[in-house]
Amino acid sequence: MSRIGSRDRHLERIAEVRAGTRAEKVPYPIRIRRTEVVRTEMVGAGLIRLTLGGPGTEGFESHAPDEHVKIVFPDPDGTLRLPEPDGLMLRWPRPSPTTREYTVRRYDARTGELAVDIALHDGGLASDWARSVRPGDPVHVAGPPGGLIVPHAYDRYLLAGDITALPAIARRLEELPRTAAGWAFVEVADAAEEIGLSAPEDVQVRWLHRGDRPPGTGGLLERAVRSVEIPDGQRVYVWIAGEAGTLKPLRRWVRDELRLDRGDYDITGYWKRGVADYDDDHEH
């Protein structure tokens, strides 16, 4: 197969999965891009949206609501060590440079603008950085390495997560068919962190207010998700992300009580209490 054909093979696979009955993760060719900050803006009280542009975003791959990119940060001495292209992958320097992963909130091929929403928390490397960047500042972006393609063949969709999962939930709600049905649960601190969502009419959205409890504690999300009653005979797709420890009982619930097939759910720890750069294995 030609090099061009090899690079485009993932597009055929994405089309096949979308036309099928089971979700599947599909890898994309991975690139490193130099982009520039176009603007920043608050999205509710808990997210800051970083819009990137410039020639480096041309041809960006964007196919799935949960796909993510890595933002590469300079070393403490200011040295920027970037990965190098290696076929369809990247070869990363050792030791690995400091990176943080963020969901692709939106990519507009017409304008070349790429948006990522960063959850703010005190003392966070990327949240402090996102507050300080200005239009024109360079930002190096790697990926996405792939995405979870979910066909529109399910009777219902169950989406849940904390504010770190909100960008992916918001994008999936936008991209679901307007005839889709299901539930979306989002745990936030309070009403100030709620944002506008474009959900299909038959998808019930519930905001869960954590209050003064620290993120990733209290079991609020688990109790809400477990309250769902799925009608007999209906196929459901479950997507949940957030603090890794809070997701363990929901993994068991999906596997042991709902008895879903591996291809019918995805549960991912986006962060872990006390760990600065947690990297889940993106387990189904």
Q: What's the confidence (pLDDT) of residue 217?
A: 84
Q: Mean pLDDT per 10-residue run, the chain (284 residues)? A: 62 96 95 98 97 97 96 95 96 95 96 96 83 96 97 97 97 97 97 98 97 88 95 95 94 94 94 69 35
User: Are the C-beta atoms of 225 and 158 separated by less than 8 Å?
Assistant: yes
Q: What's the confidence (pLDDT) of residue 278?
A: 59
Q: What's the confidence (pLDDT) of residue 276?
A: 64
Q: What's the confidence (pLDDT) of residue 77?
A: 94
Q: What's the confidence (pLDDT) of residue 215?
A: 86
User: Are the C-beta atoms of 188 and 208 separated by less than 8 Å?
Assistant: yes
Q: What's the confidence (pLDDT) of residue 123?
A: 72
Closest CA to 89 of 150, 176, 23, 28: 28
Q: What's the confidence (pLDDT) of residue 3?
A: 43
